[in-house]
Amino acid sequence: MTITDELQATMEQMVQRGKGILAADESQPTIAKRFASIGVEASAENCRAYRTLLFTAPGIESYISGVIEFEDTLAQSAGDGTPLPAVLARRGIVPGIKVDKGKGPLALSPGDLITYGLDGLAERLREHKGQGARFAKWREVYSIGEQNPSMLGISANAEMLARYAAVCQEQGIVPIVEPEVLIDGNHSMERCAEVTEAVHKEIFHALHRHHVVLEHMILKPNMVLPGKDYPLRASAAEIAAATLRVFRRTVPAAVPSINFLSGGLSPEEATANLNAMNAGFPGMPWLLSFSYGRALQEPVLQVWQGKPENVAAAQLALLKRARLNGAAQRGEYLAAMESAN
């Protein structure tokens, strides 16, 4: 198989109507924070048990086409000794890997952030491919302030995403390009729209400069939302309209799929917003779907509580959220579905 055939085959398996991606790629400090909320220690064994719970949940393959994993998880095995990536692949779910090394300040650019991890990326991708990964994820983070993100912040982050995506494609790995404009702050929805538009314009210029094939990538963006501390809330219909206005202006139709991050929205909000886009705006050139972390996992953690006797019920909680988001991808979700099991 050529690299192009390989990328194409991965895209076709990942981009399907009624399906989306489960982001289960929390780094060690992040999973420790999530586990702390239910009083569970983030030991290697607890992490392995939790990820096994997620990846073996009966029925999720009907709604989940890919799972993003953290490095450690790729090397772990389920109780029966099957490597976790193989557990997914066996069910027709594509295993993926978060390859960025986290963010920090962008030097001499106060308030801007930059993500690390390009050094040695090709070698790491080759190793992860050997472990079963077929796609990767890299996240750049933009916080909104009066002066931020600056022009420099926007261009430096775009360059990182494009260089990462090019290395992935060269290795036959589908890149998920994730620019996250954070929900934190008291900015308006209009300000989020303005920043998201500038961020996307720069990213697609950079992807073009670096010869990234748009047909073989997935975009994982934020929705356009008012800041968490902004006094006025927006409806799902308003969020859908504002988000798609920005995307029509900036995301080429050649990109097959846009899989949103949940970014601090509640599970119900994340589902309702996605549904409002698909139900209210049919005929968009891209599949509009999900790549949720917290919005898929919060209810699971609440039910699990770190106890083996709760595993089956926690798996049902995951199946429910996956099913409702699958319905939202088709524009067929109704709030009334929340009260059914």
Q: List residues near ligand 13P by CB under 6 A.
A: 23, 25, 139, 178, 261-263, 292-295
Ranked by CB distance to ligand 13P, the top (closest) residue is 293
Query: Which one from 178, 180, 202, 298 is the annotated catalytic residue?
Result: 178
Query: Which one from 19, 98, 220, 320 is the annotated catalytic residue?
Result: 220
- Of 8 and 264, which CB lies nearer to ligand 13P in the complex structure? 264
- Of 139 and 323, which CB lies nearer to ligand 13P in the complex structure? 139
- Of 23 and 195, which CB lies nearer to ligand 13P in the complex structure? 23
- CA distances (Å), 292 to each of 63, 201, 272, 297, in order? 12, 24, 13, 8
CB of 218 to ligand 13P, least distance (A): 12
CB of 169 to ligand 13P, least distance (A): 20
**313 φ, ψ (degrees, to nearest 5):** -70, -35
Q: Which residues of 139-173 are buried (b: 16+ CB within 10 A; e: fewer)?
A: bbbbbbeeebbeeebbbbbbbbbbbbbbbbbebbb
CB of 22 to ligand 13P, least distance (A): 9
**How far is Cα 137 from Cα 165, in angstroms, rounded to an integer?**
9
CB of 213 to ligand 13P, least distance (A): 23
- Of 33 and 307, which CB lies nearer to ligand 13P in the complex structure? 33
What is the SS3 assignment for 78? coil
**How far is Cα 67 from Cα 214, in angstroms, rounded to an integer?**
21
**How far is Cα 81 from Cα 89, in angstroms, rounded to an integer?**
15
Q: Let me know if 228 is a catalytic residue.
A: no
CB of 58 to ligand 13P, least distance (A): 23
Q: Cβ distance 248 to 288 under 8 Å?
A: no
- Of 187 and 294, which CB lies nearer to ligand 13P in the complex structure? 294
**94 φ, ψ (degrees, to nearest 5):** -80, 125
CB of 159 to ligand 13P, least distance (A): 19
Q: At what angle do helices 311-329 and 267-280 cross, to 10 degrees?
A: 20
Q: Let me know if 238 is a catalytic residue.
A: no
- Of 178 and 202, which CB lies nearer to ligand 13P in the complex structure? 178
**How far is Cα 38 from Cα 314, in angstroms, rounded to an integer?**
13
200 closest CA partner among 248, 166, 238: 248
Q: Which residues are catalytic?
A: 178, 220
